[in-house]
Amino acid sequence: MSLIAGKRTYKYKCLGFYIDLKQGVISKNGKNQAVRAKTLQVLIMLIQHADEVVSKKRLLDIIWHDVVVQEQVLTQSIKELRDVLGSQVIKTFPKDGYQWVAPITAINTRNRIAVFIGAIIGIGLLLTLIISVNSKQQGNAFSIAFLPVENDISDNIHQWVPLRGMEYLSRQLKANTDLTVIGHDQVLYALEHRSEYGMQSLDANKLAFLRQKLEATVLVYTRLTGYPQDFQLHYTLFFGYGIEKGVEFAKSIEQSFEQLNVTLAHKYASQRHANVQNWDSDFSNEAFARGVELYLKQAYQQAVPLFLAALQTEPNLLAARRYLAASYANQGLHSKAITLLMTTVEQSGAFDNRELIRAHLMIGYLLINWPQGKARIMELSDAQFYIEKAQTLAQTQQDELFIAYTYEELGKIKRLQGDFQQATKLVTKALEYHQSFYSQYGQTAALIELARIAAQQQQFDVAGVYLEQAQKIADDHAAPANQVWVLLAKADIAKQQNKLTEAEQLALSAQQVARYSDKPHLITRVAAWFNDQSPYTVN
């Protein structure tokens, strides 16, 4: 029997410590210690299963279900708990896992811990459970309710997304279709606790209860990720009988919302029953969306079959082809990735222009960062050809984000060729484009590249100025990815000056930022630096 199974306990006393699992705080002698989110989930799992050894695999699968990480992240969480509570509270079984062994007493049995169970069990289990929930639908009218939008953009300028995004989706779909859309205020009232806006606070039973309470045919969960000017809106539709997934790509957040509403209107408005011919594309988008989820967890090998399945049904789904190529590249199969992208380039003019821009740009990016064994001069020349082609397409479409990207990559080529004057000119042009965008932290990549150009000319003071500008932008926007990039660039340039201790300290700072962000690609990038491996991946 689990220590807290069947109880509604979230406060405990142990060895003079007071442990509040709901607040994520450990207290003793009036001093409070906050517990990091993932570490808190480890603590809950160990306390909840104190009568057994919890395997490392189980902890990683449940708590880090949404990312692909090394075992060290779990070791770090165990260390954090032992640092606060003492080494005697958790016993290590080297071949098996960990067990909570300290005496612990529940001091409050009246409040709920269910909100944390939702965070622990993981989205995969949640989706499996919801299919099995047998809820009776009230009435025959098809009705839609939007949950608050999950904001997965790590900065401080998109905090409006959850509630305003939910309101935008609800009002626009209601205004432009004959569908019954349940008001956002009614949904929030049904959620009861206004702080519980994330999917982690909604377990299978609560989702089923919400559908019944709102009399909704379908609940729409959305998650926004990506970067300014290049967003992805992932959506999951929860029915009584199962789920459906998809993803929308757009330059702006509002456009991604509008595209989702068009998709919903196309599927479920008054003519929806006549759209039988769209089954194939629905299946393709479902497979693609699930593949993207795995890709973002860095589970590239597992994502490949889903992208292939999507392309088998919908060969012209260029986004799936791009993600498939990126999956190959991130597994070290760069030639295979380039060959696949060539099939998109060869069909130039037939499909989505932004995908054609991406294809040319990605080929150039791969040739720049992963030499394919041919003469480097020729390889860089080929890279320049593809990036210039991407730039021409971007200029034709007036796609300023990708114009900026192409200037950055062309500048990098000139730096590698030793033409520092031209490199500086090109990257400065990229910086000017980024400065015209609403979100400033896109400037950091160009500033880092300008710093590298200066450093290669032994102009370390100039490089330092660029890096401090980049650091300020990253810090002002609380953007962990940009903070990591800047810190690693500083570490590279310190190493270039043979300041090895300083370089390591900067990399350790980057490691701390990456760990606390819980972003797998950042953790991997820092690990690559310490292992003297290429930090580049295709994002």
156 vs 401, higher pLDDT: 401
Mean pLDDT in residue range 369-377 = 80
Mean pLDDT in residue range 445-466 = 95
Quick one: pLDDT at residue 203?
A: 66
Q: Distance between CA atoms of 420 and 423, rounded to whole angstroms? A: 5
8-state DSSP, 272: G
CB 306 within 8 A of CB 288: yes
Residue pointed to by tokens 């859309």: 181
> pTM for the whole thing?
0.62
The DSSP string of 157-171 is S-TTHHHHHHHHHHH
> In the predicted model, what is the mean pLDDT of the chain?
81
Q: C-alpha distances in angstroms, 204 versus 115, 394, 457? A: 12, 45, 59
Highest mean pLDDT among 32-46, 244-258, 370-384, 457-471: 457-471
pLDDT tens for each residue of 174-187: 888 888 899 887 88
Quick one: pLDDT at residue 7?
A: 42
* Helix 443-456 × helix 460-476 angle, to 10°: 170
The DSSP bridge partners found for residue 237 are 220, 244
> Is the model's pLDDT at 83 over the cut of 90?
no
pLDDT tens for each residue of 334-351: 999 999 999 888 876 555
> Is the model's pLDDT at 387 over the cut of 90?
yes
CB 328 within 8 A of CB 340: yes
pLDDT tens for each residue of 411-427: 999 999 999 999 999 99
Cβ atoms within 10 Å of 406's Cβ, excluding its own: 29
> Distance from first CA to last CA of the chain, Å, rounded?
45
Quick one: pLDDT at residue 115?
A: 37
* Helix 114-132 × helix 37-48 angle, to 10°: 80
CB 410 within 8 A of CB 387: yes
> Is the model's pLDDT at 121 over the cut of 70?
no
